[in-house]
Amino acid sequence: MNLTPSSGKALKGLAVGSLALAISGAAMIPASFAAPNTAHQTASSSASVPSTASLSRVVDTSASVAQITQGLPGQYQVAYSKATNKIWMVGVGARGDLASTIARVNADTLQIEEVAALPFELDKNGEFGYISAYGITVDDVSGTVWVTNTTDNSLSVFDQSTMEQIWTNHGISESDPNWIEHPRSVLVDHNSGKVFVTGRYYVSAIDMKTFEVTKLQLEGAPNGGTRYIGMNMTVDGDKLYVPERTGGKVFVINTHTFKTEQVIQTRGENSSVEVRPSDVTIDHSENEIYVSSQGVDGVNSGISVYDLTTGAFKKFVKFGTQALSMENDEGRDLVYVTDFGTGKIAIFDAKTDRVIGEVEMNGGKANDLTVTEDGSVVAVDKQDIANTTATVPYVLNSKTGDGTMTDTYTSKATVDRNGKTVPSSQQKLVPNSIVKFYAEVSEGEFTSTATINPAKVPFQGYPKQATAVLIDPTLNFAEGTVDITRPYTFHVSGYDFEKPPAEGIRLFLVKEGEWSMGYDKLTDSELANIQKVSTVVPASAFVYNARTGKYSFEATLRVPANTMQYSQGYMLGTVTAGSDVATNRNYDSAVSLIVNDAKDAGNADNRDEADEPAFPTNASASPSASAAVEKKPAAEQPKGEQSKGEQSKAEEANDQLGTTAKTAPLKNSSSVKSEDQSKGSGSDSQVSASATKSAPQSKGSLAKTGAQNVLSLAAVGAFALIAGAAVMVLRRRKA
């Protein structure tokens, strides 16, 4: 299946978006560093130090500056946009995907300027959870950011300025050749026209024109059995360098032919212990490859150096206890490495292959980093800040799908490794840290490793609202436009029933394929599916029409926010509400729906539920906004994040298009019936439906988020479009 951008939007040419940025020239100390300098030089046992003093480069502690401040809860990767001088971060602050976001940060001040309320969905237990972002990279050519939704086995692309989601492969079947399992790190390469993604068993190459995926199975990466995990990677010209943790190798792949041109076996201090390489970077002026490695229990944690031409091993430099992410500033011949174990960042001199400085963070779990245009380094950790909570505007209620600004969330009930149920409970969100530093280096006699302790600066606060991520996010109906990122309501009319069942009928919404009309007995899964989003219309709600001798009803179906997805087929249907629902198919009705791209982004009908009429009328509704939420790796995800429903002791953090027909929304359509409607028993029973927004919103959010398109819910098949109150009409099958 070819994956194409939603709304027919074509992504512009994509540029290399790796985190490794080459900074040329003599960078000056940025003016944004006004905090007092607390750097000092101390002896260090974690760095490789020669036994005798030697003339080298040293960190000038009197000229170096550093700041540290509060960041997001659950930080993973960080990326830098040179075009806008913004830092992009991801955060997954609560188990169960209840506090995930992407954030845009001012690179000078470290102020968190904007956070997103990401798309979310119902899980297999009928609870809501975010499609959480873990890995992130920036593409300044197209003005986008790419993220890996690791635990959801998908990727998404967002507009940098509006945070609109313009493409995702979320929701495709595991059997689809474009499905990517457990994506971790993502890298955009304009030269080859590919987006490279590390994951389980494969490195995947996404074609940026067709979005087709080519899976590159690296040597030693089995088709099953032993888990293969690719970590971070880098592109250098037409070569992709990929560290593979399990086998301890770095693969050099031609980005055009996908052929492996070279395999480098990494080395550490102890050949009997796994090296576990994590990240890689290149320095052409020194003609060297640098690889960070985690090792095991502190052994083989550090930086190994290889000849760029031959791949020959040159040196191993001990650093930390679990070295992870790596970035280089080739203009200054400096390499920076995070250590998850100690929370330090190494300043590695590429000229002498020596750690000449260390930057302290918050005592542990230094995770990822990036280099800005002026030569500064911005790094994030996953270490909780003691005695502090994070009040963020994107905490999701798993039961209602509503978002609130709070520092507390209710966890989902889970099952532990021993099969024991862990009940839901109230939990606090705790923030991690962001550090920014500029290391001034000068010629001098190296005697010991310098330590830089960043100055703590006051936290500037989180945004009061989270920007709703648009996925072409609204439903268009005759009475107005409805934002599906917030709760909304179907208004349903049914008529031509011979007689209602004593128990009433169940009105429900399901994905296409989760239930079907027919005469056969309903399966257990179908019975479960029709109860997820449903309501019972009692027999007392039916009205008898003496003229026709038939019954009709009017009802509403409350639909939680983000229940529906773009390009997904759905069915709105009815069954009997009696205990014989599995076998009594006489009250089955159904209409096929698809969330469709409608070129009508003018108005969103966001009426307050208390003010809207009992059922839609032809009265116009005032426009309002699609909304900010107020009520929703990779740097090495150190010991691995968990897939939903899956946990791994070895790692801690690391059917779309059911109906293909699309119908544009009709305006001023005449009231007509479809000629191919199926007949009811003696006479016809029909159901018509429309939807309205049910939660109040302030004006302006739609414009703020830059929506270019809206979604329409188009009914296809055995139904008719009715002007005014009735939008979708369907008939019950023949009894």
Give which of 185, 202, 169 is closest to 18, Cα–Cα: 185
Contact between 132 and 99 under an 8 Å Cβ cutoff? The reply is no
Q: For the chain, give the number of residues.
A: 735
In order, the DSSP letters of 168-225 are E-TT--TTSTT--SS---EEEETTTTEEEEE-BS-EEEEETTT--EEEE--TT--SSS
205 pLDDT above the threshold of 60:
yes
420 pLDDT above the threshold of 80:
yes
Q: Could you report the per-residue pLDDT of 139-168, keeping only the tens digit for each?
A: 999 999 999 999 999 999 999 999 988 888
Please give the structure tokens belonging to residue 697. Answer: 């919103």
What are the φ/ψ torsions at residue 540 (nearest 5 degrees)?
-65, -15
528 pLDDT above the threshold of 70:
yes
pLDDT of residue 545: 83
**For range 231-243, the mean pLDDT:** 94
pTM score: 0.66
Q: Could you report the per-residue pLDDT of 455-503, keeping only the tens digit for each?
A: 999 999 999 999 988 664 444 433 345 566 677 777 777 777 778 899 9
Contact between 382 and 367 under an 8 Å Cβ cutoff? The reply is yes
Of the listed ranges 34-43, 74-83, 414-423, the one predicted with least confidence? 34-43
Q: Highest-confidence range of 330-344, 465-479, 538-552, by mean pLDDT?
A: 330-344
Alpha-carbon 216 to chain mean position: 23
List of domains in the chain: 37-412+430-459 (2.130.10.10), 474-632+655-731 (no CATH)
What are the φ/ψ torsions at residue 293 (nearest 5 degrees)?
-140, 145
Q: Classify the phi-psi angles of 434: left when phi > 0, otherwise alpha if psi is within -120 to 50, otherwise beta.
A: beta
pLDDT of residue 482: 59
77 pLDDT above the threshold of 80:
yes
pLDDT of residue 566: 63
Contact between 59 and 441 under an 8 Å Cβ cutoff? The reply is yes
pLDDT of residue 55: 61
Model confidence at 124, pLDDT cuts 50, 70, 90, reads confident
| Measured CA distances, 640 to 55, 75, 140, 229, 370 (Å) | 41, 14, 29, 9, 21
Model confidence at 221, pLDDT cuts 50, 70, 90, reads low
Q: Using the 8-state DSSP alphabet, how is residue 7 labeled?
A: G
Q: Could you report the per-residue pLDDT of 695-712, keeping only the tens digit for each?
A: 322 222 212 222 222 233
Model confidence at 675, pLDDT cuts 50, 70, 90, reads very low
Q: Classify the phi-psi angles of 97: left when phi > 0, otherwise alpha if psi is within -120 to 50, otherwise beta.
A: left
Contact between 616 and 491 under an 8 Å Cβ cutoff? The reply is yes
pLDDT of residue 89: 98
Model confidence at 201, pLDDT cuts 50, 70, 90, reads confident
Q: What amino acid occupies position 576?
A: T
535, with CB counted inside 10 A (0-12, 13-18, 19+), is: middle
pLDDT of residue 230: 67
pLDDT of residue 2: 28
The β-bridge partners of 712 are 596
pLDDT of residue 613: 28
Q: Using the 8-state DSSP alphabet, how is residue 311 labeled?
A: -
Residue 43 to residue 53: CA distance in whole angstroms: 13
Model confidence at 656, pLDDT cuts 50, 70, 90, reads very low
Residue 617 to residue 46: CA distance in whole angstroms: 73
Model confidence at 691, pLDDT cuts 50, 70, 90, reads very low
CA distance between the termini of the chain: 38
**For range 503-525, the mean pLDDT:** 89
The β-bridge partners of 187 are 196
Model confidence at 622, pLDDT cuts 50, 70, 90, reads very low
Q: Could you report the per-residue pLDDT of 591-604, keeping only the tens digit for each?
A: 766 554 443 333 43
**For range 310-323, the mean pLDDT:** 98
pLDDT of residue 708: 25
